[in-house]
Structure 1
Amino acid sequence: MSLYENNSIVRPEYFFIIGLSGIPNSSYYYIFLFIIYCITVIGNSLVLLIIALDRSLHSAKYLCVFNLALADFGETNAVIPNMLKTFLFDSQYISYNACLANMFFVNYFINVQSATLVVLAFDRVIAICLPLRYHSIVNNIVMLIVFFGIWTLNTLVVALSVSLMTRLSICKSNVVESYYCDYGPVLRLACNDSTVNKIITNVIAVMSLVAPVILIVLSYLGIFFALSKITTWEGRLKALKTCVSHLLIVGLFFLPVICIFIASSTSTLTPNVRIISTSLSFTLPPMLNPIIYVLNTAEIKDTIRKKFKKRIFT
Structure 2
Amino acid sequence: MTHNTSSSASEFLLQCEIQPAQRNFVVLVLSVIYCVTLFGNLLVILVIRMNHHLQTPMYLYIAVVDIFNSTNIIPKMLAVLLDSAVIPYGPCLLQMYMVFHLEMVESLVLVFMAYDRYVAVLHPLRYPSLITNKMVLISIFVSNVVGVLILTPFVVVATELRFCITNVLPYCFCDYATMVQVSCTNSAKYLVILSTTTIMSATAAVALILFSYLSIAKAALKISSVEGKRKIFSTCLTHLLVMGLFYLPLMVSYILPGVGVKLSLEVSNTLVIMASVVPPMMNPIIYSFRNTEIKISIYRLFTGMRTSSLSNSN
* Counterpart amino acid of residue 8 in structure 2: R
Match of 1:308, SS? helix
Q: Flag the 1:231–1:307 CA change in 2: closer, same or farther, 3 A.
A: closer
Q: Flag the 1:167–1:70 CA change in 2: closer, same or farther, 3 A.
A: same
Which among 204, 210, 227 is matched to residue 203 of structure 2?
210
The runs of 5 or more residues in structure 2 that have no matched partner are 309-314
The runs of 5 or more residues in structure 1 that have no matched partner are 5-9
User: After alignment, is 63-72 or 233-242 more displaced?
Assistant: 233-242
Q: Flag the 1:126–1:295 CA change in 2: closer, same or farther, 3 A.
A: closer
> How far did residue 288 of structure 1 move?
2.1
Match of 1:281, SS? helix
> How far did residue 118 of structure 1 move?
0.5
Are residue 2 (structure 1) and residue 4 (structure 2) matched? yes
**1:14 & 1:243 partners in 2: Cα distance?**
45
Residue of structure 2 in register with 1:25 after alignment: 22
Calculate percent identity across the aligned residue pairs.
Answer: 33
Q: Flag the 1:18–1:242 CA change in 2: closer, same or farther, 3 A.
A: closer
Q: Flag the 1:153–1:297 CA change in 2: closer, same or farther, 3 A.
A: same
Q: Flag the 1:156–1:273 CA change in 2: closer, same or farther, 3 A.
A: closer
Size of the alignment, in residue pairs?
Answer: 305
Which among 112, 124, 134 is matched to residue 131 of structure 1?
124
User: After alignment, is 107-116 or 39-48 more displaced?
Assistant: 39-48
Which among 72, 78, 86 is matched to residue 80 of structure 2?
86
Deviations 1:87-117 (A, max 9, x none): 44x2332211111111011111111111011
Using structure 2 for the length normalisation, give the TM-score: 0.83
**1:244 & 1:55 partners in 2: Cα distance?**
30
| Cα RMSD, aligned residues only | 2.9
Which among 67, 74, 90 is matched to residue 68 of structure 2?
74
Are residue 49 (structure 1) and residue 42 (structure 2) matched? no
Residue of structure 2 in register with 1:145 after alignment: 138
Q: Flag the 1:232–1:306 CA change in 2: closer, same or farther, 3 A.
A: closer
Residue of structure 2 in register with 1:223 after alignment: 216
Match of 1:105, SS? helix
Residue of structure 2 in register with 1:38 after alignment: 35
User: After alignment, is 33-42 or 204-213 more displaced?
Assistant: 204-213
Match of 1:272, SS? helix
Q: Flag the 1:297–1:251 CA change in 2: closer, same or farther, 3 A.
A: farther
Q: Flag the 1:155–1:268 CA change in 2: closer, same or farther, 3 A.
A: closer
Using structure 1 for the length normalisation, give the TM-score: 0.83
Which among 282, 293, 296 is matched to residue 288 of structure 1?
282
